[in-house]
Amino acid sequence: MLMAVTLLIGCSSEKSKEVKNVDLCEIINELPKDIKKAVTVNYGNKVKLPGITTNRMSQNKLEIKYYWQLNDALGKYNQVFVHISNPSGMILFQNDHGFCPQAGKGQFVKETYVVNIPNAAFGKEVSISIGLYSKEPNITLLDIISAEGALTDKSFMGALVEKVKL
């Protein structure tokens, strides 16, 4: 399993550059009612992903909002990988980032990113897969305990939470 993780994280696919941060890491009192894609992905009983919202802002920009509920300290699993892949599973671009450092146990978090869409992804339907991992001392994934409204599969690592036409 570690070999597959290393291949995905070390792949040569294009890493999307962060263009704009809008309240990049916002602590919120409750989940908004307008989340576009509701899911309930439980990562190691430490954090849940209750939803994601995507919005195509222009031909080459995609806004992605991640909604989290922190149940326990993440410890070393403080990195989020976001793989945007074509239907065959090839990663076209990524939005990997550190988990909101200001978040505390029991809080809700909304992260907002605007990412560049590479030319290779234009016009394609893509899948967004999300997981948490540790860089220290070796790259290891935080196990997914359950995933309602999302698919899990060791071939794409993490939880496939959304499909978007670019």
pLDDT tens profile 18-75? 434 445 899 998 998 889 999 999 999 999 999 999 999 999 999 999 999 999 999 9
Q: How many domains does the chain have?
A: 1
Q: State mean pLDDT over 107-131.
A: 94
The confidence score (pLDDT) of residue 155 equals 64
Find residue 162's DSSP bridge partners: 128
pLDDT tens profile 128-154? 999 999 998 888 999 999 999 999 976
The confidence score (pLDDT) of residue 7 equals 24
pTM of the model: 0.83
Please spell the DSSP secondary structure of 132-143, one letter per residue.
EEE-SSS-EEPP
The confidence score (pLDDT) of residue 156 equals 61
Residue type for position 19: V
Find residue 25's DSSP bridge partners: 111
Per-residue pLDDT for 158 more than 50?
yes
The confidence score (pLDDT) of residue 74 equals 94
The confidence score (pLDDT) of residue 22 equals 45
The confidence score (pLDDT) of residue 29 equals 87
Please spell the DSSP secondary structure of the chain, one letter per residue.
-HHHHHHHHT--SEEPPEEEEEEEEEEESS--TT-SEEEEEEETTTEEEEEEEEEEEETTEEEEEEEEEE-S--TT--EEEEEEE-TTS-EEEE--EE--TT--TT-EEEEEEEEEPPGGGTT-EEEEEEEEEE-SSS-EEPPEEEEETSEE-TTT-SEEEEEEE-
How would residue 98 be classed by pLDDT, with cut points 50, 70 and 90? very high
Which CATH number do you get for residue 91?
A: 2.70.50
Which domain does 78 fall in, by range? 2-165
CA dist 51 → 5, 69, 83, 151 (Å)? 24, 10, 16, 13
Q: How far apart are CA 78 and CA 101, in angstroms?
A: 8
